[in-house]
Amino acid sequence: MKAGEKSIKIYLSIALRALFVLALVVLILFFTYLTVRFAFPFLIACLLSLLLNPLVSLLEKKTGIPRGLSAFVVLFLLFSAVIGLMLFAAVSLIKGITVLSKTVPGHLDALIGDLQNLFFSRLVPAWERAVHLFSGLSPGQQQALRLNIESMTGTLVDFLNDSAGRLVISLTHFISSLPDTLLSALFVFLAAFFISKDTDKIRQRLSLISLPAIQTPALQVWKDLKQTCAGFIRAQFILVTITFLLIYFGLLCIGVSHPFTIAVIAGSVDLIPYLGTGVIFIPWILYHMIIQNYPLALTLSALYLTVVIQRQLLEPKILSATIGIDPLASLVALYFGFRWLGFSGLVIGPVLLIVVRSLYHSGVLKDTWAFIIGRKT
């Protein structure tokens, strides 16, 4: 009986410690959610200051100017470069729209002519055959077919109306959010400046208020997390650069106009999960197939297949080399993140995977399990 009571006490202690850990995890997740929701610009400023601190320290060491001035110079150069890139993109977009405004009417005329030929050569005979088959149906079957066609037409019209409405709402929301975006950007700049300027003071204060039992594993997790994030950014940069070079030289060999601009846009789109360069190439290829420009459609298809194949072959190797995460685990994180959280889950899923990996390698998960079962580490 005493042995049974002892076992019950042991299991009860394990259950209580497990509930304590679970409550602590829920509390941390809730606090993280509130922080991300209400202090997202501040988090961006913290991340920006952490990324720029090495440059600020280097400038301070090499020139001897105060750290505050070094932080201001680095941030000013960064924001100037970002604004310059945005202006360059805007000018390129205006030039592209100007070129399209001159070339699209001719392409549309050719497309309309091809569609007319397709209509009279293929669709009219098919319609006549369908009418012949329809006249052979019974009145009840004809009525059911009419109802189905009307239902599909109504569904298509509703879809187009909803899509147009969502597009207008999105554009209106984007325009109305510009002042808030500019204000948030100003806040990020100021917060990043003060954080980078007082980095040493902030570290000293954090080291004073944190317990040694928490500080050591937290530093290990932070170190591993920084290395993993840096490896992930490096891997994405390598993959996007390879995609850009393949598309640029491929379009250059094909003889397509504006290969650099198209390659830059395709490389940028390649960063978006589940979309990639197919958003650009697939409509482009279909357009040239419709206008019966088969040589260009085939060469673009070959270039697109080359880009997709190299991405599929190199991405697992580069990610495993720079991060050390199994490609299958990354795919699972992307899938479940998308299923649970939608489009934002495509970012949150891999981030959570990186956090769990950092906790595992730093020994936090092992120590947590030892605490739950009552084993001394």
Residue 310 falls within a domain, yes or no? yes
Whether 210 has a pLDDT exceeding 60, the answer reads no
Query: Measured between alpha carbons, how far is 149 from 326 in angstroms, rounded to an integer?
Result: 49
> Is 22 or 116 the better-scoring residue by pLDDT?
22
Query: Measured between alpha carbons, how far is 354 from 14 in angstroms, rounded to an integer?
Result: 28
Question: Cα torsion for 257, 263, 264, 268, to the nearest 10°?
Answer: 140
73-79 contact pairs (CB < 8 A, 24+): 74/196, 75/48, 75/189, 75/192, 75/193, 75/196, 78/52, 79/189
Query: Measured between alpha carbons, how far is 256 from 114 in angstroms, rounded to an integer?
Result: 22
Q: What is the CB neighbour count within 10 angstroms for residue 233?
A: 12
Whether 376 has a pLDDT exceeding 70, the answer reads no
Query: Which of the four pLDDT bands, split at 50, 70 and 90, describes residue 55?
Result: confident
Whether 17 has a pLDDT exceeding 80, the answer reads yes
Mean pLDDT, the chain, as a whole number? 76
The secondary structure of residue 272, as a DSSP letter, is S
Q: Give residue 299's pLDDT.
A: 92
Interacting residues of 225 by C-beta distance below 8 A, sequence separation 6+: 354, 355, 358
> Is 257 or 108 the better-scoring residue by pLDDT?
257
> What would the pLDDT profile of 322-339 be if each residue is shown by its tens digit?
776 776 777 777 777 777
Residue 206 falls within a domain, yes or no? no
Q: Tell me if 362 sits within 8 A of 220, measured CB to CB.
A: yes
Residue 95 falls within a domain, yes or no? yes
Question: Cα torsion for 330, 263, 287, 112, to the nearest 10°?
Answer: 140
Q: Give residue 121's pLDDT.
A: 64
Residues 290 and 145 in one domain: no
> What would the pLDDT profile of 341-359 be if each residue is shown by its tens digit?
766 666 677 777 877 877 7
Q: How many domains does the chain have?
A: 2
Which one of 197, 225, 240 terminates a domain? 197
Q: Give residue 334's pLDDT.
A: 72
Picking from 2-11, 212-221, 269-278, 356-365, which range would have the lowest pLDDT averaged per residue? Answer: 212-221
Query: Which of the four pLDDT bands, split at 50, 70 and 90, describes residue 361?
Result: confident
Which one of 197, 228, 262 terminates a domain? 197
Whose structure tokens read 């003071």? Answer: 201
> What would the pLDDT profile of 137-193 be if each residue is shown by its tens digit?
667 766 776 677 667 766 766 776 676 667 667 666 666 666 777 777 778 888 888
Exposed, middle or buried: residue 189 (CB in 10 Å: 0-12, 13-18, 19+)? middle
Query: Measured between alpha carbons, how far is 220 from 259 in angstroms, rounded to an integer?
Result: 45
Q: Give residue 305's pLDDT.
A: 92
Q: Tell me if 233 sits within 8 A of 285, measured CB to CB.
A: no
Domain hosting 166: range is 39-197
Q: Give residue 145's pLDDT.
A: 63
Residues 75 and 112 in one domain: yes
Give the number of C-alpha atoms closer than 13 A to the C-alpha of residue 363, restricted to the C-beta side.
9
Q: Give residue 96's pLDDT.
A: 64
Residues 244 and 125 in one domain: no
Which one of 138, 164, 197 terminates a domain? 197
> Is 219 or 30 the better-scoring residue by pLDDT?
30
% of the chain exceeding 90 in pLDDT: 4
Query: Measured between alpha carbons, how far is 53 from 192 in angstroms, rounded to an integer?
Result: 10
Residues 257 and 314 in one domain: yes
Residue 115 falls within a domain, yes or no? yes
Whether 297 has a pLDDT exceeding 80, the answer reads yes
Residues 112 and 253 in one domain: no
Query: What is the mean predicted confidence (pLDDT) over 23-34?
Result: 85
Residue 106 falls within a domain, yes or no? yes
% of the chain exceeding 70 in pLDDT: 69
pTM above 0.75, yes or no: no
Q: Give residue 141's pLDDT.
A: 65
Residues 345 and 248 in one domain: yes
Q: Tell me if 348 sits within 8 A of 337, measured CB to CB.
A: yes
Q: Is 211 helix (H, G, I), strand (E, B) or coil?
A: coil
Residues 294 and 173 in one domain: no
Whether 10 has a pLDDT exceeding 70, the answer reads yes
Residues 285 and 332 in one domain: yes
Whether 51 has a pLDDT exceeding 70, the answer reads yes
Residues 109 and 160 in one domain: yes
Residue 25 falls within a domain, yes or no? no
Interacting residues of 266 by C-beta distance below 8 A, sequence separation 6+: 243, 244, 247, 277, 280, 281
Q: Which amino acid is at 278?
A: G
Could you tell me the sign of the dihedral formed by the alpha carbons of 212, 214, 220, 225, in that order? negative
Residues present in the chain in total: 377
Q: Tell me if 90 sits within 8 A of 267, measured CB to CB.
A: no
Q: Give residue 149's pLDDT.
A: 65
Q: Give residue 249's pLDDT.
A: 92
Residue 288 falls within a domain, yes or no? yes
Residues 174 and 246 in one domain: no
Residues 192 and 220 in one domain: no
Residue 329 falls within a domain, yes or no? yes
Residues 156 and 286 in one domain: no
Q: Is 1 helix (H, G, I), strand (E, B) or coil?
A: coil
